[in-house]
Structure 1
């Protein structure tokens, strides 16, 4: 509950002025008369006032010096300060206002005028606080709404990726593991400001949330091809390659139905570009080098690494070291050389991600 009486600190090195000021104000306010800036700061350690009446001409610490200290301290910077002065100098008033004072009152002061000025400024301070509280509450509502949108987006992602996982019997855990690899590389890229022109405007959470949709186009690939227990024939592989374009089309269809699609913009790029190769020999568009979006270059490493360490009906799983070795051999051909060089530091994190994700999936299957 807000206190009924406001607190005012009156700072003046003249005891007569202090006594006169307290007499004028004591019927409406709790008044603390203080003879110096030093005594003001000592009292502020115990009591937070609603307003400070501050004399300018004081020995040791002038009013200007006091307000400079007040306005640089987060504990005190919001306390309204009215200067008390016997000067009639617009330049001095401007200086005080520029330091953060809200008003000037000339000495000797008229009791009705002083009371009215204080009343007005206390009212303005209360309204300012109410506005701040309103804005803080509004910001909280916006944050809550944002969390709801992210939760909805994640629900869409989970549903769609589960559909892909359910149909593609050969790639269990692929989506979870590749999301982890991309996140590992992106944290390094953000921290070291690599490709900063690309990533500086990206929302990290949206970017990571969009990774699982990179294979969503497989929904349109027939089970006969998707789950063939052996290597694909050339004509079958041509059909499989279309999943990149199918993924883009599926995500575009979702984007047309919602305005909240920042994360889907990333998802579309992941879906369409993750099979492009640095030397231009990839698909679906044969993009080369930096013409391949960074999302696609990141996903290429994550996707191939996971494919190499995973068992398939037509091949055995490679070891972590063998997979990293193959990716290094593909530097400048299949993969972005800058991203491959990151593996010198990140390869152990890839292995940890694989082990943790596989353990989590086994525990979920048992539950």
Structure 2
């Protein structure tokens, strides 16, 4: 391709020397003319230095014009170069064959110099327009990608800010939110490779689940401090009020969905997680007592993630249990509180969960420093006996 200020490059392909001389004389003042005597040689010349346009005879030795054109149009580097066929006779079937192969035009021999110049100029101008359009499209695509990335960054920052606001009265906001995101990402990606979930847990769906996960307890903003920060046992009435954080969060997100007017945003996934992550596989959870696959899959993933993090994290009312103990509790509740398929994936990912838990532990909490109230939102996830044993019970009076 020629640079700005240079003559456009024309590749003339013809096995007749007199034709080459004639075409060169006609074009040399306005164009940089290169020559080849057969299709094979034309491909070599074109690949070495890209021409702006190719004028090609059809009947040539070694490789004819049709075959050369076919190969040019299959080449990623050459496919956008216009090919104009030069022919003594032009029959409809020949022209159709050439156009089917990607030729831009036919010029009948003997060539009229004025017509040749006009055709070459026209196709070069068309090519320039296509190149400009292509460059503009590439620029727009890059700009769209940049804007999407920018919006995603702002969106993610906003989500983390809202999630931090909901969690700020708890023990370890930042570390907890990071762990939740990494846990659920591992689970969703593993299950996305399983045949029965391949069409459900697509890469885009997984992205939305991970993006939404920090907002699972957004409804805790609506829980009074005297309940959320209470260091002692919750009364039955307080515990029932505590459970409303799922409804408060879900309703708030649903209102945002209506405001946007598009239920296909990440908000729909966020709503499912906020509403239903305390539902249980056997129907004994809240707020609606859903069971089995009536519980949205993102919420079933979050149920296991939330349980594991609650068990392995220190709270003011309990110590963290070892990873192995947490795994045993979740495994025992498979098919009761948790989706068996999610638990199966969790058990396959024990090493990854343990590494995430260790990597994102809050160092202040590990030293016994507390700077917030207990995470009441995670209570009530397990059977009362297991709760008492592991220190994650609702602590009702």
TM interval, shorter chain, is: over 0.9
| Alignment of structure 1 residues 119-138 onto 2, 5 Å | 119-138=121-140
Deviations 1:88-118 (CA, angstroms, capped at 9, x unpaired): 2111111111111111111221111111111
Match in the other structure for 1:162? 164
Match in the other structure for 1:67? 69
Establish whether residue 264 from structure 1 lines up as the match of residue 267 from structure 2: yes
Match in the other structure for 2:328? 325
CA gap 1:95/1:179 in 2 versus in 1, 3 angstroms:
same
Match in the other structure for 1:206? 208
Decide whether the 8 Å contact of 2:171 with 2:315 is kept in 1.
no
In 2, Cα distance between the equivalents of 1:14 and 1:190? Answer: 62
Match in the other structure for 1:245? 247
- Which of 282, 287, 306 is residue 285 of structure 2 equivalent to? 282
- Residue 129 of structure 1: how far off its partner (Å): 0.8
In 1, Cα distance between the equivalents of 2:313 and 2:138? Answer: 49
Decide whether the 8 Å contact of 2:218 with 2:249 is kept in 1.
yes
Decide whether the 8 Å contact of 1:275 with 1:283 is kept in 2.
yes
In 1, Cα distance between the equivalents of 2:340 and 2:290? Answer: 16
Instruction: Answer with 121-130 or 32-41: which moved more.
Output: 32-41
Decide whether the 8 Å contact of 1:6 with 1:50 is kept in 2.
yes
- Residue 302 of structure 1: how far off its partner (Å): 0.3
In 2, Cα distance between the equivalents of 1:315 and 1:277? Answer: 23
TM-score after normalising by structure 2: 0.86
In 2, Cα distance between the equivalents of 1:231 and 1:108? Answer: 101
- Which of 157, 181, 184 is residue 183 of structure 2 equivalent to? 181
- Residue 221 of structure 1: how far off its partner (Å): 0.7
- Which of 93, 118, 121 is residue 120 of structure 2 equivalent to? 118
Match in the other structure for 1:41? 43
CA gap 1:249/1:96 in 2 versus in 1, 3 angstroms:
same
RMSD after superposition: 2.3
| Alignment of structure 1 residues 1-367 onto 2, 5 Å | 2-169=4-171, 173-192=175-194, 194-200=196-202, 202-258=204-260, 262-358=265-361
Decide whether the 8 Å contact of 1:177 with 1:357 is kept in 2.
yes
In 1, Cα distance between the equivalents of 2:306 and 2:327? Answer: 12
- Residue 259 of structure 1: how far off its partner (Å): 6.2
In 1, Cα distance between the equivalents of 2:37 and 2:256? Answer: 70
State the SS of the aligned residue for 2:163: helix
Decide whether the 8 Å contact of 1:169 with 1:227 is kept in 2.
no
- Residue 12 of structure 1: how far off its partner (Å): 1.0
Decide whether the 8 Å contact of 1:255 with 1:264 is kept in 2.
yes
Decide whether the 8 Å contact of 1:230 with 1:313 is kept in 2.
no
- Residue 296 of structure 1: how far off its partner (Å): 0.4
CA gap 1:171/1:239 in 2 versus in 1, 3 angstroms:
farther
State the SS of the aligned residue for 2:199: helix
TM-score after normalising by structure 1: 0.92
* Alignment coverage as a number of residue pairs: 364
- Structure with more contact order per residue of length (Cα contacts < 8 Å, sep ≥ 6): 2
In 2, Cα distance between the equivalents of 1:52 and 1:68? Answer: 13
CA gap 1:53/1:231 in 2 versus in 1, 3 angstroms:
farther
In 1, Cα distance between the equivalents of 2:340 and 2:194? Answer: 16
In 1, Cα distance between the equivalents of 2:99 and 2:128? Answer: 20
Unpaired stretches in structure 2, ≥5 consecutive residues: 370-397
- Residue 315 of structure 1: how far off its partner (Å): 2.5
